[in-house]
Structure 1
Amino acid sequence: MRLEWLEDILAVAETGSLREAAERRHLTQSAFSRRVQHIEDYVGIALFDRSRKPVQLHPATAEQREEIARLARKLHQLTDDLRRSDRTAGNRLALASQHALTASWAPRFIERVQSENKDVFFKLRSANLEECFALLLSRQADLAVAYRVAGEEHRIAATYIETLSIGRDRLVPVFARSRADHLNDRIEQRELPCIAYPPEVFFGDVLNRILLPRMRNTMRIVPMVETALTQASLELAASGIGVAWVPQSLARDRTAAGELVDLSAVLPICDLEVTAVRIAGPATHAEALVWEQLKG
């Protein structure tokens, strides 16, 4: 069943007139009538009751009217998607981004690229660090953007991997300003309520390997909630549930607004690098273009 046939059937159903339906379909009435007859020959039944004015759908056709309309919409969408895909195929870039960078860095960078190169189409995949690298190695992503601890290498480092340092950030402790007195009371009791990350994710490794050991001799660490998502960790800190270590870039607006307090002066921090990673070798037009912009 062709899309144009579905639209012919709907035109007759909506106008109740072969003449008006022909005008809507930009055909002469005779040409339109021949096409309707061809559709009926193909289906093997009469679709319309022409003996009545206005023309009405036969019961079997009327019963399927909503399905005919749905199929027409789906075929239109499919056609549009295929055309769009053809236009963007040569300029498509699959970008795997660590969750926190998806929220803070990616929107600004994509806007900058597309302001200069409107045809570049991004397929953005947000994932944790290991998933970003898995997408890259399986060729499901052209580039990966991820944090690493300043001075350290990614575990993915190899001769066939190119890594570019594209920015600096810092993992900082934040807490709700409105609950600061409550936190001070807990700290006076040598307790620190905190938001934990699973040990297998990047920030969990940084927290457990680098940050928490610096405090364990002076206070008891009390995990209140565990989450793998930095955005969730930020919200939990804003609710006063516990101190959260989050990228400074993610918390900047809310600390500037006074909603959160940055506790870097009294609790440990960790400097981070923002890196872009790709597999060395031939690159698509979009990948080469974006890599050059990352260098700038």
Structure 2
Amino acid sequence: MTTLTKFGQTVRLSVYDSNSKLILDTSGLRVDFHVSIQATWNAAKFTIYNLAPETIKQLSKGKGYIRLFTQLHDMPTQELNYDFVINNVFSVKQVPNSVTELYCLDRSKVIFGDKQVQMQVTNPTLKRYCEALAKAAKADITFKYTDFPVNVLDYSPPSPKAVWSGTVLGALTKLGRQYSFTVNAEAGNVINLIFQPKDDNQKQSGQDKRPSYVLKTENMRSNPRIGIAKILIESNLDLSIRNGTILDTSKLITATTAEGFQTAATLANQVQAAVEGNARYVTLTVEHKGSNYTNQWVTTAMAYKPVKGTKMDDPDCPKG
């Protein structure tokens, strides 16, 4: 099948059944997409043009999962490191085309996050709690722990036991408030817990040693908006930017403050100093939008950097 490409933009969806067998490759079809990567679970909308009726019927069964691939001109192909399952299918005739919209949820949320569990954990460190969650949900889930200081991972609250009754997502939300982390679901049933350090425990987290994504002015769709300890960027589409990505602003030439004033100074020298921090921001939410038929090809990301927090007196909160 001939690959459909306009403006040098290639978009391809691979749809697999529940046994990971490829059942649809959208090469040659128009595809628009909008992927939302949040601090909990992810969602996506894929719009495919002129699918065969039998294919639409098969997709409506809601089994299996979807992978997204993109390429710009002759640059390397990028794969979005997330799996999406189809939650709803809407198809309509727009003469001369038929348009099918796939509303998708994060695969991990469907098979893991919404499950009801009842469990009790003895000496409940974060790792033991998460292992107990996976066991109680009877789910093949692997947890990753990004940027956690050792003393936080090994911290055990004064209470000798922890009891939980509710959804897995509810448990992770509660743990996220207690241990200061966000949840990032990845492909292959991986749940990445990303620690959010404060200014006073950032060095212990190891976040400063992680590789960064260097932002460049020529890739920006608009001036980055700088606020106190946060930044909003709109760049050319890049699927490698996701929740937890370290954005390095030191090479940017221009930026706009949250109040709308533009500066021609490098962020590393002036804007950076004005907001009291270094040039590294941690991505919290991301949206990817693209098409192989229109000129839409953009990544929007909101990122923050650690700030000094208030003292926590809750005995169940680990001291980083």
Give the alignment's TM-score, normalised by structure 1.
0.24
Relative contact order, higher structure (CA 8 A, sep 6+): 1
Give the alignment's TM-score, normalised by structure 2.
0.23
More helix by share: 1
Larger gyration radius, structure 1 or structure 2: 1
More strand by share: 2
